[in-house]
Every structure is written in structure tokens, then in C-alpha cells.
Structure 1
């Protein structure tokens, strides 16, 4: 039984309208040694996601599909999957992504961790014609400060925040500290959970080995968010900063991350007001929130001049991969 094997893994997949990709995701999970169960939570899809997921089950009946009658968001879906599974190790897989062979063997070579993440290969192809670069599975510990700073994006730089990492988590640590996904968040729910875990003393290990394949899609649900989602995300930093006894460098990093998200929120809120009521409502917004206008002006200027600036490397080449982290090439035997 999964609960008797300390290295047994549950793969949880929150899925919405993923009928075209869910089979690849499930099969890549089932192919991994050590995977005892795959729990798919169909978050009120309007396509055949649940039916297709059921059809991807194997002869060991390791796949369980839970269908929600109303859409509750990825945080709630993942919490439901965790609550309806039992394996000691929990791995997150997005419904349009996949695992490369050997992912968990590389991770389980390392000990003394509560969360462990590996490198990500971004690709445009759900069935890449070749394997990713082989990197040495060098490990390092990720501190709370490094995690926060690694989630602050830089203008003109292709997104590669540490928050994209998909760590395997020990169920015992989550249960001991009563940690789960914040269901009020539909953006940054991973950032929030990992940050709170680190604040509770989680040992977060990162290795350079590539085991996760992230498919870059223009219509990805993870790339869509509402203005209020940004507001809820920056509130996370404000709430955490209220924790007594935080080191000053962590407080400073939280302020910078909060400001980074606030600037994105300010721009979106201004554009929303303009869309609703034209320049009259946009001017009203500017008069009501003058402190927001510098970030609004900077964001508009960036958008208007984007075509004239050098483009950062593509999120994923048409052929091949882009890697989230740099690594040292493994010696091929």
C-alpha cells in the first residue's frame, strides 16, 4: 500500500477543459517508477476532460478522477486531490504538462528535504522529438529570502521565476503544519503555499536535473488572470510581513515583491477603468489614486515601446527547449 512506502508518490492534477492534453500528462505520471496514485480533479470542465482522464487509467487502477460540479479554481482542486490521496510524497502536475522519464529517481537520490524541485524544460511540443539537456543533479538549499527574490520579475527579461518550479512535497510536513493551498487565490497559489512552508521551516532543495516539461501555450489557463487576482496576491505579502520576528532582509524582499505585484495591479485597474468608462473614468481613477499613476505611466510606456526593444529569448524555441535554471552538463557514459 502507498501509505507503507515512504517514497510512494501521488501525482495530483487540477484540470479544466484539458481533454486534448490530459492523456499525455497522466501517462507520463504513470510511467514514473514509484507513482502509487494519480488523482485528477476535473474542475467543472465543459469538454470531455473527465472521460478522457478515466480512459487513461492503467491495469493497476492507479488513476482516480473526481469531477466538481462548479469551478472552484486550481487551489481548491489541488486541496481536494490531496485530501483524497494517501501517498507520503505529493507531486503537482499541470494538465497540459508532462514528466520526463526518470524524474523521481533523480529527486529521491537526495535526503533531508520537505520540498524538492527539479529543473523545468519549456517546450512548444507536448511530444518533443528529443530529450532535454542532461544536467548533473547538483543540489542546493533554497532559503526564504532567495525564494521571494526569485519571484520578482525583471522588465525585458523572459519570465523565469522560482515560483514556476514544481516541487514534490512531503505530506507529513503539510499535515504537521496544517498547510494547504489558499482557495481565495487563483493566481500565485503556489507562491503562497511554498512561502508559508518556508516560513514554517521547510527544507526546500532544488536540483538541476530536468524532469518536468512545461508546454508553452498561448491559451494556457495559468497565463490568464483577473485584476482582482493580482490584488489578492499582493495582499499575501502584506499579510506575511505582519508576522512577528521576521528578519529585516526577508521583510525588505516581501516589500519588493508586493510592490512588483502592485504595479501590475495598478496598470490593470487603470486599463479596466478606461475600458468601462473611457477617458472620463480613467481620469477619475488617476485623481482618486494618484500614488498609482507612476507605475501606470511606466507600464503604458513599456507597452508602447515594446516593439523597439530587443526581445528576450523565446519562452521555448520552435524546436528544442528553454530551461528555467542553468546547469552543469552531465557526463555522458
Structure 2
């Protein structure tokens, strides 16, 4: 039996998600631990709101809110947090869904403020397909390890721990005044988790997989703008400037911040060249000499990658529901 303190509010911010929102809502309502599902239609111009309503199971747990003007996922999530009441909060992207039994695995863990599970990335969603049965192997995730898990390294897979979708205790968020930064549309999850960890959040991660993420080229995370990178860079610099980051994590956070700053500098240079010509781009580069290595290195990497694509046939992404896991689970649970 699910106790009051184990009840979950699932928050789904949606923009033009009529094709996927029903699947997301149904997967959330199927979980017995879910007391509320709050969908915020963030200024859609399609049938997102209607499609969400069509997925209602009649249990009275679904609440659908509509913003007439798009305000971004952070504002949508903050509004949902404000109007909901369940003690546990879970974010679900409108493209994605929960595998059955997700919350029973997560809530079996003890003594946490945030608890996250493995994510299965797929090209083709299939609700009938179950992820591999990895043993939970719960472990604590501190600030330094979390930031390291978001740093890209040459020749290694992209750092992705910011993609985790933890269940969060409302009491911890409220006690520390933590909400999503509404000026951010890229890295808002990462930034919130960093501030929580700075405040001492106990963050537990398990290798069991309960979250299905559908990889799409036109997802919001794949469409970030230069100003979104700038906002992320400014937010991280602000956290560092506050002076609350534990000493052991300062170095890796500065490293991550530099990496974001380098990406921003390259994008700013390319935008200037496209919009105002080579002269404007060079003026920006020479006016910002500390950005020159990032710009030159980024252009070189782009050319090398383009040459590699021309000379080697790319392996296509799986189209049959093949799964890739975020966390490198090392063993599987026995049936």
C-alpha cells in the first residue's frame, strides 16, 4: 500500500506534443504511486491539450493547464510545482514515458532527497518492450561526481548525468527555495541539481531502468540557441561566484563552465559570420582573444567530423526499438 509520504506528482511540460503526450500521460497514470499528473500546455498551436485529455483514466488525478503564450519548460514546471501538493515530484518530458513499476523501484531506496534511475534511450518508442533487468546497486552521487558526469571528453561518450530525471522531495526544494530558473531553456535540470547538491541534497542513483527517453532530432534539447548556451554559462558562473561550492568540486565546476563558455564562443562566432559576414565574425574573435582557442578548435573539429562522415559510412541509429542506457549497469537482476 502506498503511504501519503510516498505519493508522487508527475509534471509534464508540453509544447506541440500532440503525437506523444497521450503516451506520456498514460504511463504516468498507470503507476499506483502517482497521486497527481499535471500537464502544462506551454503555448501549443496543435492538439496537445486535447490529446492529453484523451489519455485521462477517469481517476481524477489528471490536471491540464494551458499557457496562452510559450513561457518555456522551467516556467511550466514551476507553475505545476506551485499548484500541486504531493510530497514527491517527478519530471516527465512530453516525448518520453515511464516503464511499468518505475516508482516502486525508486521508492524502495531510503534516506534521499533526490533519487534517480537509469534511462533507456531509443529511436522508436515501444511501450511493450521492457528494459534490461539491472540490479539497483544504489549509490550516492555528490556534487563533484555529478559535474564530472556532465563533462565531455575527447574519445569518450558525451557526459549525460544532467539528463537524469530524479524524484525530488518537495520539502527539500521548499526548505532551500529551489525552483527552475525561468531564464533558462537549456541545462535547466543540470543547474537545479547543482544548486540542490550545493545545499547538501542526498542524491541517490540506481542502475535499474524505469524511464524511456525517445531520441528525436527536433527535440528542444537538440534545438538550443546561442542565447540558451549563454544563459547556462551565466547561471553556472553565478553559482561559482556565490562562493558556496565545496572546495573539492570547485575545480571540476570551473572546467565544466569553461567548456560551456567555449561552446558559446564558437556559436557566437558562427552566428556572426552567418548573419553579418566574415568581417563581423573576425571582429568578434579578435575582440575576445581568450575565446580564440575555442573558436579555432571548434572549427577544426567540425571540419574533421565532416571529413570523417564523407569518408566513412555512418552506422544508422537503431530503428527497431533498440535501447541504449545512460548508466553503465554492470550486472542484471535475476528473475
TM-score class normalised by the smaller sequence: over 0.9
SS in 2 for 1:196: helix
Secondary structure of 2:242's partner?
coil
Is the partner of 1:302 in helix, strand or coil?
helix
Matched residue, 1:137: 136
1:248-302 deviations in Å (ceiling 9; x for gaps): 3311111101101011101100001001121121121122112211111111111
Distance (whole Å) between structure 2 residues aligned to residue 37 and residue 245 of structure 1: 34
TM-aligned CA distance change 1:313 to 1:154, over 3 Å: farther
- Per-residue Cα deviation, 1:218-241 (whole angstroms, up to 9, x for no partner): 111121111111111111221111
Segments of structure 1 that go 5 or more residues without pairing to the other structure are none
Name the TM-score, length of structure 1 as normaliser. Answer: 0.94
Partner of 2:191: 192
Distance (whole Å) between structure 2 residues aligned to residue 286 and residue 261 of structure 1 = 17
**What is the Cα deviation at residue 244 of structure 1?**
3.1
Secondary structure at 1:206 match in 2: strand
Residues 139, 204 of structure 2: 8 Å contact kept: yes
Alignment partners' CA distance in 2, 1:317 and 1:294 = 38
1:159, distance to aligned residue in structure 2 (A): 2.8
Match of 1:25 in 2: 24
Q: Who is 1:124 aligned against? A: 123
Cα separation, 1, equivalents of 2:244 and 2:223? 36
Separation (CA, whole Å) in 1 of partners of 2:315 and 2:250 = 32
Task: Give 1:329 shift.
Answer: 3.0
Q: CA deviation at 1:319?
A: 3.7
Unaligned runs of 5+ in 2: none
Instruction: Give the secondary-structure state (helix, strand or coil) at the position aligned to 1:6.
Output: helix
Alignment of 1:92-171 (within 5 A): 92-127=91-126, 130-171=129-170
Supply the distance in 1 between the matched residues of 2:154 and 2:330 (Cα, whole angstroms). Answer: 27
Q: Is 1:320 matched with 2:322?
A: yes
Q: Secondary structure at the match of 2:283?
A: helix
Asked if 1 retains the 8 angstrom alpha-carbon contact of 2:273 and 2:280, the reply is yes
Residue 327 (structure 2) pairs with residue 330 (structure 1): no
- Once the two structures are superposed, residues 58-105 of structure 1 have per-residue CA deviations (whole angstroms, 9 ceiling, x without a partner) of 121211100001111000000011111111110000000000011001
TM-score (norm 2): 0.94
Query: Deviations for 1:147-205, whole angstroms, at most 9, x for unmatched residues?
Result: 11111122454434110100000011111111100101111111111111111111000
Partner Cα distance (1:314, 1:235) in 2: 36
Where does residue 271 of structure 1 map in the other structure?
Answer: 270
The number of equivalent residue pairs is 331
